[in-house]
Structure 1
């Protein structure tokens, strides 16, 4: 399924009146993992500005021990500080990478802004080296724009 075909499905999930916020987040994760072959782990991390940490929210994929990540640590932690998208074509080439699994080869993280504040991010791991393109970034920015309507 193309990103363009997935967009209305993402919107339908976010405007659902029968699902809680966490159920919507989980449904979006599941939709992306089910329909994009190289999205092998899809999840959200949310920022706690007081403690300068990210906390794992709804996700689909392999279990992870990384439920709390300090700002600045790993790819997600760097995005919490930089406020910029971060695409990692090959995690083995990254110095500040937190290994979740030996099967993860690449990662993309896109920050989630509400009223100009970085409240978290969507994080995607792939078992493929260098699968992410500008189209992935634009699509995940769209997903996050839809998610902001939940806040």
Structure 2
């Protein structure tokens, strides 16, 4: 299934008011991990109250010890500060990278904005070197817009 073909399914999930917000977020993670072969870990991190840190939300993939990430630390923490997408084609080339698994080769993180504020992000790890394209960035921006509408 192409990224374009996934858009209506993402919309369907995010607008399903019979599910809780957390269940919808988990369903989005499950859909992306299942349908995009190089999305091997898909999860959400959200700003942890008034603290300058991110807290792990719903995700699908290998368990992670990184349930709290300080702003500025790792790729996710950098996105919390920069408010910009961050595509990492080769995680081994990043100085400020938090390793979740030795199998991870690449990562993409796209922020989620609500009323202009960066309140979280979608984080995707890939076991494939350099798999992410501009199409992935645009698609994940779409996903984040849909997610922001239910937060």
| Cα offset, 1:48, TM superposition | 2.5
Q: Deviations over 1:89-117 (max 9, x none)?
A: 00000000000000000000000000000
Q: Distance in 2 between matches of 1:116 and 1:49?
A: 17
The match for 1:86 is 86
| Cα offset, 1:49, TM superposition | 5.5
The match for 2:32 is 32
The match for 2:51 is 51
Q: Distance in 2 between matches of 1:73 and 1:49?
A: 18
Q: Distance in 2 between matches of 1:49 and 1:19?
A: 23
SS at match of 2:45: strand
Aligned length: 151
- Root mean square deviation, CA, Å: 0.6
SS at match of 1:122: strand
Q: Deviations over 1:21-73 (max 9, x none)?
A: 00000000000000000000000000136210000000000000000000000
Unaligned runs of 5+ in 1: none
Segments of 4+ moved more than 4 angstroms: none
TM-score, with length taken from structure 2:
0.99
SS at match of 1:128: coil
